[in-house]
Amino acid sequence: GESVGLHLPTLSVQEGDNSIINCAYSNSASDYFIWYKQESGKGPQFIIDIRSNMDKRQGQRVTVLLNKTVKHLSLQIAATQPGDSAVYFCAENGRDKIIFGKGTRLHILP
C-alpha cells in the first residue's frame, strides 16, 4: 500500500549549520509532495511543496529535492535557527487527503 516514511526519527544540528531531513516514499505514482513543520501544541504548517515534474524547488532558507528514481525526498534548511526546532513531516498529497510520514524531530544545539 501507500506509505511515506522517514529515515531518522531525530536529528541534532548545530545552530547556524545546514539541516538535511530525508524521506522515502513507496508509491511511484505519487506526483505531489509537501513538507510540513509541526511545533509543539500546534497543527502542521506548510513549508514547501514539489511536483513530480521537478527535481528541486527553493524557498526562503529551504530547498526540497526529489529523486524519483529512488523515490526519495529531502528537505534542506540553511543556517538553522532555534526557531526551526520542530517535527518535520514529508507528505504525499493524495486525491482528497494528505498522507503523512512519521516525522523527524529537529533539535538545534546552541
Partner 1 sequence: GAGVSQSPRYKVAKRGQDVALRCDPISGHVSLFWYQQALGQGPEFLTYFQNEAQLDKSGLPSDRFFAERPEGSVSTLKIQRTQQEDSAVYLCASSFHIAYEQYFGPGTRLTVT
In the range 32-91, which residues lie near partner 1 by CB under 8 A? 41-46, 49, 89, 91
Using the rule CB under 8 A, is 101 a contact of partner 1?
A: yes
Report, in Å, the least distance between residue 15 CB and partner 1.
25
> Got the DSSP string for 37-90?
EE-TTS--EEEEEEETT-SEEE-SSEEEEEETTTTEEEEEESS--GGG-EEEEE
Single out the residue of 28, 29, 53, 97 in contact with partner 1 (rule: CB under 8 A): 97
Nearest distance in Å: CB 10, partner 1: 11
Confirm or reject binding of residue 99 to partner 1 (CB under 8 A). yes
